[in-house]
A and B are shown apart, each in its own frame.
Chain A
Amino acid sequence: MKPIDGIALCRVGEARLAFPCDEIDAIAAVGPDALGAALAFGDVGSPEGKALAHGHRLLQVDSVDVLATTALAVLPVPAVIARAAGGALAGFVLLAGDLWPIVSVGGLLDFLESRRSGP
Chain B
Amino acid sequence: MAELLQFAFSGLTVGAIYALVALGFTLIHNASDIINFAQGEFVMLGGMTTVFMATAGIPLPLAMLIAIVVTTGVGLALHRFAIEPARGASPVALIMITIGASVFLRGVAQIVFDKRFHSLPPLFGADPIQFGGAAILPQSLVVLAGAAVIVALLWLFVERTLLGKAVIATAANRLAARLIGVDTRRIVDFSFAVSAAIGAIAGILITPIALTSYDVGTLLALKGFAAAMLGGIGSPLGAVVGGLLIGMIEALCAGYVSSSYKDAAAFLIILVVLIAMPQGLFGRVKVERV
A associates with B: no
Give the interface of B toward A (CB within 8 A).
none
